[in-house]
Every structure is written in structure tokens, then in C-alpha cells.
Amino acid sequence: MVLLITVTIFLATVLAALALYWWLEERREALPRRFEELVGSSKEDRGANLSTAEKWIGKLRMRFATTLGGETELAEMLSGKELTGSRLLLAQAGYRGVGFYTAFLIVRWIAPVALAVLAFVFGKISGSPPRSIFITTVSAGILGFIIPDIFLRMRIRKRVEEITDALPDGLDLLVVCVEAGLGLNAAFIKITEEFRLSSPALGEEFDVVNREMVAGKPRQEALRSLADRTGVEDVKSLVAMLVQTEKLGTSLAQSLRVHSDSLRVRRRQRAEEAAAKTTIKLIFPLVFLLFPALFIVLLGPAFIQIFHAIIPAGK
């Protein structure tokens, strides 16, 4: 009976979350909605000769593709909104689009309820005391609320490290492209193509900047959005240098070369710092893992002999 009630509560929570998701989806901004309607109408015109089932399948596929950040991403870039809060964190982790934000909110509220329900069910099945079940349920709910943020920040940290490591090489290629006579937009396209495999995150960010500038966004705003979207200090310094160069009218190639050299020096210094920290980090596994086993192997036989030698003497 308890299990049936628990499953019913869980299903009701899931259905309520799905209803909230569709309601939030219907209240999206005007510009993304107009863009989606424009794309959807063109797709409906192309599929006018399809059957009813095929039309419904096509609409569902378009719905989920748009929700997961496909066509809506461009519409959001054109809207000129500043990313804040969870949207900014999702963008720094590489998850863009309205659908990812909505899905994150849904997971953030479903996970505590699901873990709390599971903890309550297991506590009832195992026959734990009511106080223990209450503490476990509350702890599981708090853990479920924290887990999405932990996963998101781990993803952000990994992506920041990838962009930071690949940025000096990208700037070298940018210097070569600019000195060869290419414009900044064409240089960004070249970086996107060359870093598609070695560093997809860096190539994707430069691709987004180029798409924003092509869509009509001012270059300074697109570059500042790049700095906010990545959250990387080296990218912020690069954006400040590009904006300052454009304002003062100085040589872009020379400024990029100097900045690339400084970033390469900083990358080498970070590697040397990480190597210097290795000896400190090795102390804890040596003291707590390796040394106890080593002492047991080396001193164990001696302690056994001393023990056997002391017991007869005591008797």
C-alpha cells in the first residue's frame, strides 16, 4: 500500500513537471516565437502533400529539435538579451537554447522529489525507524537539489580548461590569418574549421561570434558576449584587447601577436605551477595509502617475532 501511494505521488509529480514545462514553453519571448513560426510555416509548406501521421511526426521532431536549442538558438542571439543566472551557467557549460534552460529547471525540481521518494520507499521497505527515514529523506532531497549544480559546474570547469589550453594556438592561427589579409570574420571562420576536432569548444565559440556579427550584432557587443559566455579570463583579456584595438585604430596583427605570446607564457607558467604542486599532492596518497601497506610488510614480521618473544618471558 505504501509503495502504491509512493509511486502515485511520483507519477503525479512527473506529470506536474511536464505540464509546467509545456506552460513555460508557451510563454517564450516574442522574437524566438516569431522565428520558430517562420521556420515551422516553411516546413509545413514543404510537407503539404504528406499524410496526417507524417505531419504530426514532423511537427514533433521539429518541436524537440527547436526545444533542444536548434533554430531557437539563433533567435535568442538576435534578441540581444544578456544571459544571467542559470542561463549564463548553461551557456558557459555549452548548453544553449530555451529548451536546455527549461530542462535544467525541470531536472532541478524533479531530482529532489525523486530521490526523496526513493529514500522514503527504501526506508519503509527496510523497516528503519521513522526518525531515520525522515533524516534520510531530507538528506536525499537536499542532495538531489545540489547534484544538477555540481554536474553543471564540473562541465563548466572542464570546458574552461579546454578553451584556456587551446586559446594560444587559436590566436597563432588568428595572427596568421590576419597577416595574410583576411578579415576578422573570415579568420573566425578559419579557426572554427581548424579547431573542429582538436578543440570543439573553442571552435564553437568563435562560430557563435561570427554568426552574431553576420546577423547584424555590433562587433564589440558580440565580443563582449563571447567573454561572458565562456567565463575564461584569457578570453576576457583577448576581448578587451580587440575592443581597445578597434577603438584606437592600432595594428590588429601586431596586437594579436603580442597577446598570443603573453598567453603562451601564461600557459607555460600554469604548467610549471601544476608540476610544482605535484609533490604536495603526492603526500596524501603516500601517507594514507602507500606507507601503511609498506609498514605492514616491513614491520609486520618483526612485531610478530617480538610478540612471541615477550609472551613466553611473561609466562
Residue with cell 533554430: 71
Q: What mean pLDDT, rounded, does the chain reach? A: 75
- At residue 46, the pLDDT reads 44
In the predicted structure, residue 238 carries a pLDDT above the cut 60: yes
Q: Where are the domains of the chain?
A: 2-47+55-149, 159-268
When pLDDT is averaged across residues 132-161 and rounded to a whole number, the result is 86
When pLDDT is averaged across residues 41-59 and rounded to a whole number, the result is 49
In the predicted structure, residue 229 carries a pLDDT above the cut 60: yes
Tell me how far CA of residue 72 lies from CA of 39, 131, 213, in angstroms. 10, 48, 17
pLDDT in tens, 249-295: 778 888 888 888 888 888 888 888 888 888 888 888 888 888 888 88
Buried b (16+ CB within 10 A) or exposed e, 152-186: beebbeebbebbbebbbbbbbbbbebbeeeeebee
pLDDT band at 44 (very low <50, low <70, confident <90, very high): very low
